């Protein structure tokens, strides 16, 4: 045991005469050192001078002399699967033989996997089943580490090729009973390759390492996988390995965003792996022992740095989108080259938002919110891409915390995206035959017994003893059902005393569509207004909109009602009114108030001579008793 100030270097001599170097700090415990030897540390014990060293003691507390010899022993286990133990030990022995003698490693691994697959009907020694028992035996035997050592350090190319073929046997188990249980094996194999001295600089470019990482991501993303599938792997080791994978894939995603590259196959894989490892690491953080938040755990520093780097790349990218839209002055053209990384940005923002909740990171949450607010145009383009690709299906993260930052079109798009899509090739269904005298009972009877597939297909409605069919009948049925549902005499809902135009429903639904304060967007109002007798840049038009911007929300609503007889806009804003608004130059003197033609959405505005006069006249017509007169004086 060689010891330097503040650090210890352990030289572990294996039974095959090879030496493994393990570095440790003086405050590391014996148990933490054993964890670095791989899986199965629960069955290992360390002896010095005939006595067993306590696992919770630190290296410094032991006070061992320099060049001390420690013995690492493994206790024998009883098992109902002796054939599995025999095969696993043969794999370890074959991997540790001299070059030229490892030709049977691939065959032995293949035989072990066959035995594991056939073990489904056998008795289990543990609660997870016989298949999990076999994988646990493979881990405890040290076989994954032996295979990785052979692949990394063998000087014989045929032995390295044999080890690679044996390792790739686990990559072919991506279906069937073994899939979810291969996670700890893939984790240890990829970790051993990543920690190898020669592989440290080339691990990202190593095809085998990349394939192991990709296979592990596929396993973790499987719906049947759960954290119990890690078996005996320590939570600390799992978190460290997942952090390495998350940081590596985050770096690739950052390059994708900053380079604005097209989403090619490699980019899609990196994005999928990052999302999988990030989500798995968050789940692992919740399971980690102790009450310390993630920011106090050893692996957190690297993950936090990766998240900050991703946030910077997102901010730069959204600034680029804003500049692009400003140059083009056409949001519809935003689907060209510079928007290629929108799926990456959407996924990254969702992950940042999720991490800010798990790890209690108000700085990241505030930065995400500030980015969405400052780059409003880019945020609109980003939201409009939601639901259009497989990467943008999850829209739930932006609604709870940031919906107040979205414009009306974005909120409308999110609401429509959440609705289920009609099936393209839905089976033909029989029409609902409705008796008008039993409208709700018959309608409920059909819908209650319909399958989800039938509900996503075309709805056909016919009324009893009537010949009419088609969309018109369906539209009539919808109107009748809505009227019956909201009939106050049916006491299905309680009427709202302060607003009798609607009933008590989910209050958040109205906020999601129209904003928290039901504000009227003056910019959208101006964009849907034409001028007759005035120019858009004339002083009187500018005075008019300046006065409107200075109004309260209630005053703007009264002005809109005076102008159009519409007090509450449709869900899609001014574009849902059916026609554009118009401001006409009135030939009346400046002593007259503005008048309106509500049928045609016309406002007749005299040529007032100053802003104060304009504001004063408008303030008069937005009084409640005046605005309801529709400009008739």
Enzyme catalytic residues:
599
By DSSP bridging, strand 602-606 and strand 581-586 are parallel
3-state secondary structure of 48: strand
50: region left, alpha or beta (phi > 0 left; psi from -120 to 50 alpha): left
The residues, ordered by sequence, that sit 6+ positions from 598 with a Cβ below 8 Å of its Cβ are: 563, 564, 565, 630, 631
Distance between alpha carbon 250 and the CA centroid of its chain, in Å? Answer: 14
Torsion of CA 611, 612, 614, 617, to 10 degrees: 180
3-state secondary structure of 300: helix
Report how far residue 26's alpha carbon sits from residue 23's, in angstroms, rounded to the nearest whole number.
Answer: 10
Report how far residue 364's alpha carbon sits from residue 401's, in angstroms, rounded to the nearest whole number.
Answer: 13
Report how far residue 516's alpha carbon sits from residue 511's, in angstroms, rounded to the nearest whole number.
Answer: 5
DSSP 430: P
CA geometry: angle at 212 spanning 165 and 181, to 5°? 95
Report how far residue 117's alpha carbon sits from residue 225's, in angstroms, rounded to the nearest whole number.
Answer: 17
* Burial of 123 per CB tally in 10 Å (0-12, 13-18, 19+): exposed
Residue 173 has which token pair? 């188990």
Using the CB atoms, write b or e for 524-534: b if 16+ within 10 Å: bbbeebebeeb
The residues, ordered by sequence, that sit 6+ positions from 63 with a Cβ below 8 Å of its Cβ are: none
Would you say the C-alpha torsion 95, 230, 183, 31 has a positive or negative sign? negative
Residue closest to 562 by CA, chosen among 488, 481, 482, 624: 624
> What is the number of other CB atoms lying within 10 angstroms of the CB of residue 465?
8
Residue closest to 112 by CA, chosen among 79, 78, 89, 145: 89
3-state secondary structure of 175: coil
Q: How many residues does the chain have?
A: 633
Strands (E), 447-597: 461-463, 529-532, 581-586, 595-597
Report how far residue 238's alpha carbon sits from residue 242's, in angstroms, rounded to the nearest whole number.
Answer: 6
Report how far residue 112's alpha carbon sits from residue 85's, in angstroms, rounded to the nearest whole number.
Answer: 9
Residue closest to 308 by CA, chosen among 252, 251, 269, 256: 251
């Amino acid at each position: 045991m060689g010891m330097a100030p503040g650090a210890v270097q352990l030289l572990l001599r294996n039974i095959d005469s090879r030496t493994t170097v393990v570095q440790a700090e003086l405050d590391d415990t014996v148990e933490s050192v054993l964890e670095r030897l791989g899986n199965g540390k629960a069955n290992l014990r360390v002896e010095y001078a005939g006595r067993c060293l306590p696992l919770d003691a630190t290296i410094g507390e032991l006070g061992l002399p320099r060049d001390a010899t420690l013995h690492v022993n493994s206790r024998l286990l009883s098992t109902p699967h002796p054939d599995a133990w025999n095969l696993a030990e043969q794999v370890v022995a074959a991997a540790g033989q001299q070059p030229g003698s490892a030709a049977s490693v691939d065959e032995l691994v293949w035989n072990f996997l066959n035995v594991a697959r056939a073990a489904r009907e056998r008795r289990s020694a543990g609660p997870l089943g016989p298949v999990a028992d076999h994988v646990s035996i493979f881990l405890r035997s040290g076989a994954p580490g032996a295979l990785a050592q052979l692949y990394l350090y063998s000087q014989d190319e045929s032995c390295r090729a044999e080890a690679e073929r044996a390792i790739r046997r686990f990559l072919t188990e991506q279906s069937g009973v073994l899939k979810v249980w291969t996670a700890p094996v893939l984790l240890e194999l990829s970790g051993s390759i990543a920690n190898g001295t020669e592989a440290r600089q080339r691990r990202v470019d190593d095809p085998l390492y990349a394939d192991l990482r990709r296979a592990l991501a596929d396993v973790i993303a499987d719906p049947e996988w759960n954290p119990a599938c890690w078996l005996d792997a320590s939570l600390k080791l799992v978190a460290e390995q997942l952090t390495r994978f998350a940081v590596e894939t985050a770096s690739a995603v950052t390059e994708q965003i900053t380079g604005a590259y097209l989403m090619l196959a490699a980019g899609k894989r990196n994005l999928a792996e990052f999302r999988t490892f990030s989500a798995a690491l968050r789940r692992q953080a919740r399971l980690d022992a102790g009450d310390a938040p993630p920011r106090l755990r050893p692996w957190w520093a690297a993950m936090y740095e990766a998240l900050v780097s991703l946030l910077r790349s997102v901010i730069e990218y959204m600034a680029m989108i804003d500049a692009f839209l400003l140059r083009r002055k056409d949001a519809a053209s935003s689907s060209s080259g510079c928007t290629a990384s929108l799926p990456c940005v959407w996924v990254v923002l969702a992950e940042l938002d999720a991490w800010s909740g798990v790890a209690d990171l108000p700085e990241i949450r505030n930065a995400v919110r500030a980015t969405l607010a400052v780059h409003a145009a880019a945020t609109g383009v980003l939201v409009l891409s939601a639901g259009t690709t497989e990467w943008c299906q999850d829209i739930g993260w932006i609604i709870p915390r940031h919906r107040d930052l979205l414009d009306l079109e974005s909120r409308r798009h999110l609401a429509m995206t959440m609705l289920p899509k009609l099936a393209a090739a839905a089976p033909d269904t029989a029409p609902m035959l409705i008796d008008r005298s039993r409208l709700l009972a018959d309608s409920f009877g059909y819908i209650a017994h319909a399958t989800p597939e039938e509900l996503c297909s075309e709805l056909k409605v016919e009324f009893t003893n009537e010949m009419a069919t088609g969309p018109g009948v369906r539209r009539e049925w919808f109107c009748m059902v809505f009227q019956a549902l909201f009939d106050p005499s049916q006491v299905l809902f309680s009427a709202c005393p302060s607003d009798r135009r609607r009933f008590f429903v989910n209050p958040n639904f109205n906020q999601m569509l129209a904003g928290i304060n039901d504000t009227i967007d003056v910019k959208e109002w101006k964009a849907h207004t034409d001028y007759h007798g005035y120019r858009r840049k004339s002083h009187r038009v500018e005075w008019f909109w300046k006065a409107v911007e200075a109004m309260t929300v209630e005053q703007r609503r009264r002005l809109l009602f005076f102008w159009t007889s519409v007090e509450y806009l449709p869900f899609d804003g001014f574009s849902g009114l059916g026609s554009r608004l118009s401001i006409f130059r009135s030939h009346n003197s400046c002593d007259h108030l503005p008048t309106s033609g509500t049928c045609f959405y016309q406002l007749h505005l005299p040529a007032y001579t100053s802003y104060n006069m304009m504001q004063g006249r408008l303030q008069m017509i937005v009084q409640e008793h005046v605005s309801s007169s529709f400009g008739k004086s």
